[in-house]
Chains A and B, each alone.
Chain A
Amino acid sequence: MLRYLLRRLLLSVPLLFGVSILTFIVVALVPGDPAVRILGAGHTAAEYQAADARLGLTEPLLVQYWHWLDGVLHGSLGTSLFTIQSVSSTIAQRLPVTVWLIVGATLVSLVAGVALGIASAVWRGPLGRGIDAASWVTFAVPNFWLGLILIEFIAVKAHLLPTSGFVPLGQSSSLWLRSLILPVLTLAAVGVTGVAKQTRDAMDEVRSREFVTALRMAGLPAWTILLRHALRNAAIPIVTTVGLFMIAMLGGTILVEQVFALPGMGSLVVQAATDRDLPVIEGVVLYFTLIVIVLNLLVDLSYAWLNPKVRVAS
Chain B
Amino acid sequence: MPSGSFFPPTRARRLGRSGSLFAVAALAIGALAACGGVNNGSSSATSSGSAAATGSAPKGVTGGTLTVQFNSPVSLNPALEGTSESDIVFGALDYDSLIYQLGDGTFVPDLATSWSYVAGSKNEIFDLTLRGGVHFSDGSLMTPASVVNSLEYFKKADGPQAGYLATLASATATGANTVRLTFAAPEPDLPFLLSQYQDIGQIIGPQGIAHSGTLTTTSDGTGPYVIDAAQSVANSQYLLTENPHYWNPAAIHYKQVMVKVIPDPQTALSAAQSGQVGALLSLPSTAQNTAKSDNLTVYAQPFSIASLILMGRSDPKSPLAKLPVRQALNDAVDRKSLATGLGGGSAVPTDEFALPGATGYDPAEANTYTFDVAKAKSLLAQAGYAHGFTLPVLDTLALDPNGDIGAALKTELAAIGVTVNLIETPSPAQFIPAALSKQYDAVIWPLSQNGTGFPYAVQFAMAPFTNVFGTTSTQLDGLLATAGAMPSSDSAAAYAKVGDFLTDNAWFVPLFSLTATLAVSGSVANVQPPSLQNTTIDPVAPDASLSWYPKQ
Residues of chain A whose beta carbon lies under 8 Å from any beta carbon of chain B: 31-34, 36-45, 48, 82-85, 90, 93-94, 115, 121-124, 148, 151-152, 155-156, 159-167, 174-175, 177-178, 181, 203-204, 207-208, 222, 226, 258-263, 267-268, 271, 274-276
A251→B75 CA distance, assembly (Å)? 28
**Which residues B128-154 have CB closer than 8 A to chain A?**
none
Using Cβ atoms and an 8 Å threshold, which residues of chain B touch A42?
Answer: 160, 163, 460, 463-465
* B271 sits at the interface (CB 8 A): yes
Nearest to A212 among chain B residues (CB) is: B6
A259 to B8, CA, bound (A): 47
Nearest A residue to B80 by beta-carbon distance? A38
Nearest 10 pairs of A and B residues by beta carbon? A40-B160, A263-B236, A42-B463, A32-B429, A32-B430, A40-B82, A160-B33, A261-B262, A263-B233, A44-B464
Do A161 and B12 touch (CB < 8 A)? no
Contacts of A122 in B (CB 8 A): 5-7, 12, 15
Label chain A's interface by main secondary structure: helix
Q: List 13 A-B contacts (CB under 8 A).
A: A36-B428, A36-B431, A39-B159, A83-B217, A83-B234, A94-B236, A151-B270, A164-B271, A203-B6, A226-B6, A259-B267, A261-B236, A275-B429
A34 to B427, CA, bound (A): 10
Contacts of A36 on B, CB cut-off 8 Å?
A: 428-429, 431-433
Complex alpha-carbon distance, A36 and B454, angstroms: 24
Most buried by B among A159, A161, A258, A259: A159
> Which B residues from 453 to 473 make CB contacts under 8 A with A?
460, 463-465
A262 surroundings in chain B (CB, below 8 A):
236
Instruction: Please determine whether A174 and B35 come into contact, CB atoms closer than 8 angstroms.
Output: yes
- Establish whether residues B274 and A163, one from each chain, have CB atoms under 8 Å apart when the complex forms: yes
Residue of A nearest to B72 (CB): A271
B273 within 8 A of A: yes
Interface string of B391-431 (1 = CB under 8 A from A): 00000000000000000000000000000000001111111
Interface residues of B in 1-45 (CB under 8 A from A): 1-2, 5-8, 11-12, 15, 22, 29-30, 32-36, 38-40
Bound Cα distance A160, B235 (Å): 27
Tally of contact residues, B, Cβ under 8 A: 67
Q: Is B464 touching A263 in the complex (CB atoms < 8 A)? A: no
Most buried by B among A31, A161, A163, A203: A163
Q: Give bound CA distance, A208 to B4, whole Å.
A: 11
- In the complex, whether B266 has a CB less than 8 A from a CB of chain A is yes
Point out the residue from A181, A204, A259 that lies within 8 Å of B2, measured CB to CB.
A204
Cα-based distance from A261 to B274 in the complex (angstroms): 15
Bound Cα distance from A204 to B4, whole angstroms: 11
B237 at the interface (CB under 8 A from A): yes
- The number of residue pairs between A and B whose CB atoms lie closer than 8 Å in the complex comes to 185
Interface contact A165-B274, CB-CB below 8 Å? no
Taking A39-B158, A42-B160, A83-B235 as known contacts, 15 extra A-B pairs with beta carbons closer than 8 A to each other, sorted by chain A number, are A31-B425, A31-B430, A36-B429, A83-B216, A148-B270, A156-B273, A156-B274, A159-B275, A161-B33, A164-B262, A164-B276, A165-B271, A178-B36, A207-B2, A261-B262
Report chain B residues within 8 Å CB of A32. Answer: 425, 427, 429-430, 433
Asked if A85 and B235 sit within 8 Å, CB to CB, the answer is no
What 1/0 flags go to B245-258 for Cβ under 8 Å of A? 00000000000000
Is residue B213 within 8 Å, beta carbon to beta carbon, of the partner chain? yes
Identify B434's interface contact among A31, A207, A259, CB under 8 A: A31
Once the chains are docked, how many angstroms separate the CA of A166 from the CA of B271?
Answer: 13
> For the complex, is B261 an interface residue (Cβ under 8 Å from A)?
yes
> A210 to nearest B CB, angstroms?
13
Q: Are A37 and B261 in contact (CB under 8 A)?
A: no
| A48-B32 contact in complex given A155-B38, A156-B273, A204-B1, C-beta closer than 8 Å | no
Chain B residues, CB < 8 A from A258: 263-264, 267
In the complex, chain A residues whose CB is within 8 Å of the CB of B266: 148, 151
Encode B48-81 as 1/0 by CB contact (under 8 A) with A: 0000000000000000000000001011000010
CA distance A222 to B434 in the complex (A): 70
Enumerate chain B residues within 8 angstroms of A276, measured Cβ to Cβ.
429
B313 located at the interface, meaning its Cβ lies under 8 Å from any Cβ of chain A in the complex: no
Confirm or deny: B83 has a beta carbon within 8 angstroms of a beta carbon on chain A.
yes
Q: Which of A41, A174, A181 contacts B465 (CB 8 A)?
A: A41
List B contacts of A181 (CB < 8 A): 29, 32-33
Minimum distance in angstroms from B104 CB to a CB of chain A = 29
B436 sits at the interface (CB 8 A)? yes
- Please, which residues of chain B bring their CB within 8 A of the CB of A93? 233-234
B275-329 interface with A by 8 A CB criterion: 275-276
